[in-house]
Amino acid sequence: MRTQNGNKLEITEDPIRIVINAHPEYRPTAPGQVIDGYRVSVRIDRTDGAPVKDNFLSYNIAQGGIYLNLDAALGDGERIAREAIANDFVDS
């Protein structure tokens, strides 16, 4: 199941849950609140409360590069999460 609420996308495919948060990056030199793009952070856990890997209850992917729009940020966050799962949570 996919649920998007604002800048947050949650994907549940039992027993895995992926939560992707897009954080706006504001242009520092612009007057007001001008969004320059988005960064994403990803959390992967299990709906049954079991560890995702060894004794870790969640796997977190910190903010990466900047994306021009919200759709690109959330889409790449999903790609990164699925790649981590496919690689059994081993950093490449």
CB 37 within 8 A of CB 66: yes
* Residue 30 is assigned to a structural domain of this protein: yes
Residue 23 has pLDDT above 90, yes or no: yes
Instruction: Specify if 91 maps to a domain.
Output: no
Q: Which structural domain range is residue 49 located in?
A: 2-86
Main-chain dihedrals φ then ψ at residue 75, nearest 5 degrees: -65, -45
Q: What pLDDT is stored for residue 3 in this prediction?
A: 97
Domain count, the chain: 1
Give the separation between CA 34 and CA 27, rounded to whole angstroms. 6
CA distance 79 to 86: 10
Residue 65 in any domain: the answer is yes
In this structure, the dihedral spanned by the alpha carbons of residues 81, 92, 63 and 72, taken in order and rounded to 10 degrees, is -50
pLDDT tops 90 at residue 28: no
Domain annotation covers residue 92: no
pLDDT in tens, 33-54: 888 899 999 999 999 999 999 9
What pTM did the predictor assign? 0.90
* Inside any domain, residue 10: yes
* Residue 67 pLDDT grade (very low, low, confident, very high; cuts 50, 70, 90): very high
